[in-house]
């Protein structure tokens, strides 16, 4: 029987043996869930979580919400501090270019993310805006603006992004109607639209899109053709994509048939 198709195996194991098999299953499947592992090894979910923590310390896998992925996977979301350093110049130029999509006044949602953080830094400080954000870091920057009213969405804090991402945050956003949304993504492609690795984050982003009259995506070229697990938007949901000139000309032409692309940065 193929190991990726096994459902349970009641044979007793030493912790080290169980962890080695757990790492092998993670590499074979690409992702494992705590509940499935507990059933497979006939142990408690608390035992599985301890095993996953040990394996992460050994750099054999990375813990994600509800399970784990291989350590070497390229689709694991890095910490915000790391992402902030990646393509930094491109993100600053994207943030500055996105300001042109902002009206002189009105209501705005600004999503969390390293690129939207650069957008906050580029915002003119004298515009009378009401800004809603789920990002603690964005709120700290915006708090220094004299004419901006800032609303922070509550919820459960994700330490990777320093943002509120859960059902409470999505419910709060669902009560709003705003002029514009400036949103980030972890992956995008012409076929799949916009994606993220996390289910709760996808739900929050869908709520943000539903609340906005205009949707502007801020994403550098490294997000292209990098589909993640959960899709939160199709290109028909998006009004503008602000990106950098790292995208190829053929891909730019293809994207331009789906959405207005700004890459004069």
DSSP 191-257: TTEEEES-HHHHHHHHHHHHHEEEEEEE--GGGBT---SEEEE-GGG-SEEE--TTS-HHHHHHHHT
Non-local CB neighbours of 190 within 8 Å, separated by 6+ positions: 235, 251, 254, 255, 258
pLDDT at residue 4, as a whole number: 38
pLDDT at 146 over 90: no
Closest CA to 263 of 240, 241, 239, 244: 244
Alpha-carbon span 159 to 23, nearest angstrom: 24
pLDDT interval class at 75 (50, 70, 90): very low
Average of per-residue pLDDT values in the chain: 86
pLDDT at residue 222, as a whole number: 87
pLDDT at 84 over 50: no
pLDDT at 81 over 70: no
DSSP 139-175: HHHHTT-SS-EEEEPPSPEETTTTEE-SHHHHHHHTT
pLDDT at residue 73, as a whole number: 52
pLDDT at 85 over 60: no
pLDDT at residue 246, as a whole number: 87
pLDDT at residue 87, as a whole number: 66
Q: How far apart are the first and last CA of the chain?
A: 54
Query: What structural domains does the chain harbor?
Result: 3-70 (1.10.10.10), 81-262 (3.40.50.1360)
Alpha-carbon span 134 to 117, nearest angstrom: 12
Alpha-carbon span 49 to 68, nearest angstrom: 10
pLDDT tens profile 27-55: 878 788 899 999 999 999 999 999 998 89
pLDDT at residue 2, as a whole number: 39
User: Lowest-confidence range among 62-71, 170-179, 227-236, 256-265?
Assistant: 62-71
**CB contact at 8 A, 161 and 136:** no
pLDDT at residue 264, as a whole number: 65
pLDDT above 70 covers a percentage of the chain that reads 88
107-120 average pLDDT score: 94
The pTM for the full model equals: 0.69
């Amino acid at each position: 029987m193929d190991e990726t198709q096994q459902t349970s195996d009641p044979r007793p194991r030493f912790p080290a043996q169980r962890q080695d098999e757990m790492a092998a299953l993670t590499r074979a499947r690409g992702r494992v869930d705590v509940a499935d592992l507990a059933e497979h090894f006939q142990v408690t979910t608390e035992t599985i979580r301890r095993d996953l923590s040990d394996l992460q310390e050994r750099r054999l896998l990375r813990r994600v919400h509800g399970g784990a992925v291989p350590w070497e996977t390229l689709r694991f979301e890095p910490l915000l501090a790391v992402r902030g350093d990646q393509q930094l110049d491109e993100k600053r130029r994207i943030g500055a270019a996105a300001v042109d999509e902002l009206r002189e006044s009105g209501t705005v949602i600004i999503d969390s993310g390293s690129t939207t953080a650069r957008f906050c830094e580029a915002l003119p400080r004298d515009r009378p805006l009401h800004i809603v954000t789920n990002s603690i870091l964005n709120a700290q920057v915006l708090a220094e603006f004299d004419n901006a009213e800032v609303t922070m969405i509550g919820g459960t804090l994700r330490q990777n992004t320093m943002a509120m991402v859960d059902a409470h945050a999505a419910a709060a956003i669902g009560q709003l109607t705003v002029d514009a949304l400036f949103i980030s993504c972890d992956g995008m492609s012409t076929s799949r639209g916009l994606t993220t690795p996390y289910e709760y984050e996808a739900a929050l982003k869908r709520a943000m899109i539903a609340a906005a009259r205009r949707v502007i995506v801020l994403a550098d070229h490294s997000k292209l053709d990098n589909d993640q697990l959960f899709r939160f938007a199709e290109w028909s949901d998006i009004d503008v994509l602000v990106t950098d000139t790292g995208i190829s000309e053929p891909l730019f032409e293809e994207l331009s048939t789906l959405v207005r692309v700004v890459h004069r940065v």
